[in-house]
Amino acid sequence: MTTKIIYNACYGGFGLSDLAEAALLRAGCTQEEVYDFRYENRHDPRLVHVVETMGSELASGECAELRVDTISGDKYRVCEYDGVETVQTPVNIKWVDVTATLNP
């Protein structure tokens, strides 16, 4: 299974252009859903479709550069630092193994 995720690839933070917000409303999203895309549901097919169809330049807000990441599986988290986001999955997260450090 693959899943497409929308994330922001530049400093400034996730944001949608007015054109992208209008397209999402026409696609059946509520104003609350459009607002919530800043924090969750980056995998929503309507959001993915709008960003892919419009392209990053038209879909991105003033301080954003929206991109699509395709992951394997159905679990992810979006991590942010100064507005730049990365998509992490259980496969690419470096875990600390407590037992390895307690039993040298």
The pLDDT assigned to 96 comes to: 84
- Rounded to whole angstroms, the Cα distance separating 55 from 43 reads 16
- 31-79 pLDDT, tens digit per residue, is 999 999 999 999 999 999 999 999 999 999 999 999 999 999 999 999 9
User: What predicted TM-score, i.e. pTM, was given to this entire model?
Assistant: 0.90
Q: Answer whether 5's CB lies under 8 Å from 88's CB.
A: no
Q: Where are the alpha helices (DSSP H) in the chain?
A: 18-26, 31-36, 45-54, 56-59, 98-102
Q: Where are the domains of the chain?
A: 2-102
- Rounded to whole angstroms, the Cα distance separating 3 from 53 reads 17
